[in-house]
Chains A and B, each alone.
Chain A
Amino acid sequence: MSINVERVWWKPVDKGEKIWIIIALMWAIFLFVMMPWWHYYGKQNPSSETYKVSPEKFQELTNRMIEQYKVGEDAGIPVVAPPPGSDVFLLARQFQWTPVLKFKKGETYRLHLSSMDVQHGFSLQPTNMNFMVLPGYDYVLTMTPTETGTFEVVCNEFCGIGHHAMVGKIIVE
């Protein structure tokens, strides 16, 4: 069979196609504008505050916070009630979140997340907010709890065979 394909690049575009392409393009431009606009106007963004931190340093900062503000223990894990506005450290390691945090409703905290070993996922339930936790990186979430209750922190990045048992707790009073 001889193959002879017409060259198409100078052929005029059909009207139906033209209308559709314009609609698609306008929709894409709308989405394109929406993304930065909502970033500034909507204020529901993931944090972009991040620092390098060694696991040793982060462990030390966490230990210091636990010593200062420890108020009890829950399932063998220290419970900490840091003062509003302070820097709060939540340390991830296979397969545990340390410590349990106690927050006050309506107050703002700077929550630092980092890992001692492998990558973990910070998944706050049942609110359902999800952020990555990497070793060597300090990810700072500035958060203000708006409702009281007990929230679980589920690990949702695979971190080893015991991954499913990695559950932490945040209590808001």
Chain B
Amino acid sequence: MSASNEAFRTCDVTGFRVHRPAEWLIRVNAVAAVVCVLIGGIYGLLVALTRWPAVHLLDAAWYYRALSGHGLNMLIFWIIFFEVAGLYFGSAVVLNSRIAAPKVGWLAFILMVAGALLVNVSILRGKADVLMTSYPPLKAEPMYYLGVILFAVGALLAVILFFATLVVAKREKTYQGSVPLFTFGLTAAAIIAIFTLAHGAAIYVPTFLWSIGLLPGIDPAIYRTVWWGLGHPSQQINVAAMISIWYLIGTLTVGSKPVNEKVCRGAFLLYILFINLASAHHLLVDPGVSSTWKVWNTSYAMYLAVVASMIHAYTVPAAIELAQRRKGYNKSLFEWLRKAPWGNPAVAGMALSVFVFGFLGGLTGPILGTEQVNIIAHNTYRITGHFHGTVVGGTTLAFMALSYYIVPLIFRRQIAFPKLANLQVWLFGLGVAGLSATMMLAGSYGVPRRHWDIAFSGAPFGVEVNPAAYMWLALMGISAIIAAIGGALYCLIAVVTVFFGKRMDSPKDLTYPVSAPAPDAGTGIAPSL
């Protein structure tokens, strides 16, 4: 062992040997994530209250600024900071290992914070009114692109540190056999992250050079093609991380174990192999690329990734059902579900995450990604509704749910306001479900996304928008308020717990218990139903 024993503590709940430098890196990244979700949430509420026609809060310039800030702080900063914390947890802590190079972790963190600051300042100064996609020739100031690049380099270093820690753990034999499923899923996410960030570099570096005048121009069609090689697979990182968390929450809360992990692991492999080409569905109604290219790349590649999601859709609930049945909840078809520990916000959060991701976000993805359907959906609010189902109702909610375990275990504090925590996941989950559905419904009337005013004030011609769309937009605003209250409660609970929460002295103090593994039938085969 190359690290001294003082660098480790033994967790009295899980028995893991926790490397203190890794623990500190997890803490700072988690805190940064919560700061970003708070900023992004405020922006999000302002955006939603502007798109609710009866409220129409912000003026046009500030609406687009808030929209840029909302996208970057939520989709990029909050999620990636949390994922980096998750990567260190899934490698160093779960494998009983030291983290390979703590200094690299700190460098990564500093770069990411610096990048996030530059981007936020640039947006607030009104010098980056380009929204998250920053399609050229719309141009932001160089500082904005520099911020994105710094953040991405930091994230790349963190991913490399994750791989290095896997190597260290293997070489120092801190575990035997395969890596746990959670770590395996995160490894899939990390591999996707590498080629995603490569696309990011391939497009943001030239765009930065263009913004400082070193390149004459950026071809808009090439930009879109490469940018979506970043934009879409990065959502697959989130999916892989989210599903890993679903499995982990199942294990923590009901002691579940998948029926056959080979199946789950195989599905993660499908994500790695086939997801990147599916980003072609963002270009279905673009000039530039041919129909053959569009049809081929969206059909074969996307549907193999869909198979992977379908497999998880079976194995995640099956693992939980199996564990519950082995505990004796065998009466009727659904006793296992009724008797799940619903008082635990991680359980309720995960269940809502599975539901919203599966039925609102996931299901609509392959529909909108069809060549013909895309004509009536492209750049309408339907798209916004779809990805709020996946990345907010799915990923963000799963991250929130896991926080109720990670925060006590890593910060050694008891969750403040445990009753509010239960309310928090329900408010957020149902709010986002409403948000996602109403956005899609409004979008089905042709309401555009990223649009300040569907009354089209100042336009040469009036546009008659179906009154039903106004109703859906009002319900969208109300859903957004509910989701925002849920999000605010999450930030409140996280901040109060981390800074003022009661210290944990023994496993008894754990707010939500870690379940013992469900009794093993020894066969790995589901009991007959």
**B partners with A:** yes
Contacting B265 at CB < 8 Å: which of A8, A36, A157? A8
User: Which 4 A-B pairs give the minimum distances between C-beta atoms?
Assistant: A1-B15, A139-B287, A156-B448, A24-B310
Q: How far is the CB of A34 from chain B (nearest CB, A)?
A: 8
How would residues 309 to 336 of chain B score, 1 for a CB under 8 Å from any chain A CB and 0 otherwise?
0110011001000000000000000000
Question: How many inter-chain contacts with C-beta < 8 Å in the A-B complex?
Answer: 251
The answer, among A32, A45, A128, A139, for a CB contact under 8 Å with B446, is: A128
Which of B318, B371, B445, B460 is in CB contact (< 8 Å) with A128?
Answer: B445
In-complex Cβ contact of B456 among A8, A38, A158, A167 (8 A): A167
Q: How many angstroms from the CA of A46 to the CA of B462 in the assembled complex?
A: 27
Known A-B contacts A48-B290, A117-B137, A123-B448; A129 and B304 likewise in contact (beta carbons under 8 Å): no
Known contacts A4-B176, A123-B446; A161/B307 CB under 8 A: no
Nearest-Cβ distance from residue B260 to partner chain A, whole angstroms? 5
Given the known interface contacts A134-B220, A136-B219, A165-B458, the answer about A17 and B180 at a Cβ–Cβ threshold of 8 Å is no
What's the least CB distance linking A24 to chain B, in Å?
4
Report which of B135, B295, B310, B526 forms a contact with A119, defined as CB distance below 8 A.
Answer: B135
How far, in whole Å, are A158 and B466 apart by their CA atoms in the complex? Answer: 22
Given A46-B285, A130-B376: A7 in contact with B219 (beta carbons within 8 A): no
A75 to B458, CA, bound (A): 12
The interface residues of chain A, by DSSP majority, are classed as: mixed
- Give the CA-CA distance A31 to B307 in the complex, in Å: 11
CA distance A32 to B303 in the complex (A): 7
Chain B, residue nearest A131 (CB)? B285
Interface presence of B3 (CB below 8 A) = no
Q: Name the interface residues of B379-437: CB closer than 8 Å to any CB of A.
A: 379-380
Q: Are A6 and B178 in contact (CB under 8 A)?
A: yes
Do B138 and A132 touch (CB < 8 A)?
Answer: no
User: A165–B457 contact, CB under 8 A?
Assistant: yes
User: Which listed residue, B295, B372, B452, B525, touches A14 by the CB 8 Å rule?
Assistant: B525
* B525/A3 in contact, CB under 8 A: no
Q: Which residues of chain A from 30 to 49 have a CB within 8 Å of any chain B CB?
A: 31-32, 35-36, 38-39, 42, 44-46, 48
Instruction: Report Cα–Cα, A98/B318, bound state, in Å.
Output: 58
Given contacts A13-B263, A118-B135, A164-B456, 5 further A-B contacts (CB under 8 A): A5-B177, A5-B178, A126-B446, A129-B376, A167-B461
Q: A28-B304, A44-B372, A131-B285 are in contact. Are A21 and B452 (CB under 8 A)?
A: no
CA distance A5 to B307 in the complex (A): 26
Q: Across the interface, which residues of B come within 8 angstroms of A154, CB to CB? A: 446, 448, 456, 463
User: A21-B263, A39-B371, A123-B379 are contacts. A31–B285 as well, Cβ < 8 Å?
Assistant: no
Show 25 residue pairs from A and B whose CB-CB distance is below 8 angstroms, ordered by the A residue: A3-B180, A4-B175, A5-B177, A5-B178, A5-B181, A7-B177, A7-B178, A8-B178, A8-B262, A11-B260, A16-B526, A21-B263, A24-B310, A44-B372, A44-B375, A46-B284, A130-B377, A130-B379, A137-B221, A154-B446, A158-B64, A158-B135, A160-B138, A162-B60, A162-B458
Known contacts A46-B284, A132-B286; A161 and B61 CB within 8 A of each other: yes
Flag if A3 contacts B375 (CB, 8 Å).
Answer: no
The answer to whether B503 has its CB under 8 Å from any CB of chain A is: no
A69 contacts chain B at the CB level, 8 A cutoff: no
Closest to B265 in A: A8
Q: Looking at the complex, which one of A14, A46, A157 makes contact with B375 (CB distance below 8 Å)?
A: A46
A-contacting residues of B (Cβ < 8 Å)?
A: 14-17, 60-61, 64, 94-96, 129, 131, 135-138, 174-181, 219-221, 224, 259-263, 265, 284-288, 290-292, 294-295, 298-300, 303-304, 306-307, 310-311, 314-315, 318, 366, 370-372, 374-380, 445-446, 448-454, 456-466, 524-526
Q: Which residues of B contact A25 (CB under 8 A)?
A: 307
Residue from A8, A9, A165 in contact with B459 in the complex, judged by beta carbons closer than 8 Å: A165
Contacting pair A24 B311 (CB below 8 A): yes
Within 8 A of B (CB), among A109-128: 113, 117-119, 121, 123, 125-126, 128
State the CA gap A32–B297 with chains docked (Å).
10
- B92 → chain A, closest Cβ, in Å? 12
Chain A, interface size category, equals 35 or more
List, in ascending order, chain B residues with CB within 8 A of A27's CB.
310
A9 and B269 alpha carbons, distance in the complex (Å)? 13
Complex Cα spacing A152 to B447, Å: 13
Query: Judging by beta carbons under 8 Å apart, are B372 and A125 in contact?
Result: no
A163: chain B residues within 8 A (beta carbon): 60, 64, 450-452
Chain A residues within an 8 Å CB radius of B379: 121, 123, 130, 156-157
Residue of A nearest to B529 (CB): A16
B221 touches A9 (CB 8 A): no
Compute how far the CA of A128 lies from the CA of B447 in the bound complex, rounded to whole angstroms: 9
| B residues in contact with A119, CB < 8 Å | 135-138, 220
* Residue in A closest to B381 when the chains form the complex, CB atoms: A156
Are A1 and B14 in contact (CB-based, < 8 A)?
Answer: yes
> Residues of A contacting B464 with CB < 8 Å?
126
Q: Once the chains bind, are A14 and B461 in contact (CB under 8 Å)? A: no
Question: Does A71 make an interface contact (CB < 8 A)?
Answer: no
Whether A158 and B371, one on each chain, are in contact in the complex, defined by CB atoms closer than 8 angstroms, is no
In the assembled complex, A50 has its CB within 8 A of some CB on chain B: yes
On whether A16 and B371 interact (CB within 8 A), knowing A126-B446, A164-B453, the answer reads: no
- Distance in angstroms from A110 CB to nearest chain B CB is 14
A118 neighbours in B (Cβ, 8 Å): 135-138
Which residues of chain A come closer than 8 Å to B372, judged between CB atoms? 38, 42, 44-46
Residues of B within 8 A of A165 (CB): 456-460
A6 to B222, CA, bound (A): 46
Contact B298 A169 (CB under 8 A): no
- Kindly provide the distance from the CB of B400 to the nearest chain A CB, expressed in whole angstroms: 27
